[in-house]
Amino acid sequence: METTKTIYQLHEEHKTWLNKLLFYKDELSIMTNRLSEVASKNTSSEVLALVDHFNNQLIIQKEQIDILNHDIKSHESYLEAAVRKNVNDIEHTKFSDHKKHRESIAVFEKIFKELREELIDFLSKWM
């Protein structure tokens, strides 16, 4: 059986996810700065290869944040169109749960946490 939610519930989840993604984007910036510090202090090929590896991983995570932001904002636009189409009865209208978005956010957060832990280990060794 498919779960349904009110537009308000979906909108609140969107806001929560967008705020989380903003936080992760800020965290990516901090991580990138730390990697730059390590690269400037350590010129060995081993360290620079790892810095490059982590920089590439951070770029991928930034792209994932952009994709998730776009998907969530697109769903928010869909909800806004539903409001315009059915202004008088929107209070009682139920929408399909956005399970795909929830799963995408969960997967992103898991991968991001693992990357953060690996990066912290690397930074603690080389800073």
Residuewise pLDDT in 10s, the chain (127 residues): 568 998 889 999 999 999 999 999 999 999 999 999 999 998 899 999 999 999 999 999 999 999 999 999 999 999 989 888 887 777 778 898 889 999 999 999 999 999 999 999 999 999 8
Nearest to 78 by CA among 7, 15, 3: 7
Element (H, E) at 4: strand 4-6
Q: Is residue 14 part of a domain?
A: yes
Q: Is residue 2 part of a domain?
A: no
Nearest to 98 by CA among 15, 42, 24, 36: 15
pTM of the model: 0.90
Predicted confidence at residue 1, as pLDDT, reads: 58
Q: Is residue 115 part of a domain?
A: yes
Q: At what angle do helices 7-41 and 99-126 cross, to 10 degrees?
A: 20
Q: Is residue 65 part of a domain?
A: yes
Predicted confidence at residue 25, as pLDDT, reads: 98
What is the gyration radius of the CA atoms in the chain, in angstroms?
Answer: 20
Dist CA 39 CA 108 (whole Å): 27
Q: Is 60 helix (H, G, I), strand (E, B) or coil?
A: helix
Nearest to 27 by CA among 65, 70, 67, 73: 65
Q: Is residue 106 part of a domain?
A: yes
Predicted confidence at residue 117, as pLDDT, reads: 97
Predicted confidence at residue 3, as pLDDT, reads: 85
Q: DSSP secondary-structure letter at 14?
A: H
Domain range for 81 is 7-126
Question: What are the start-end ranges of the H helices in 4-44?
Answer: 7-41
Report the number of distinct structural domains present in the chain. 1
Beta-carbon neighbour count of residue 112 at 10 Å? 19
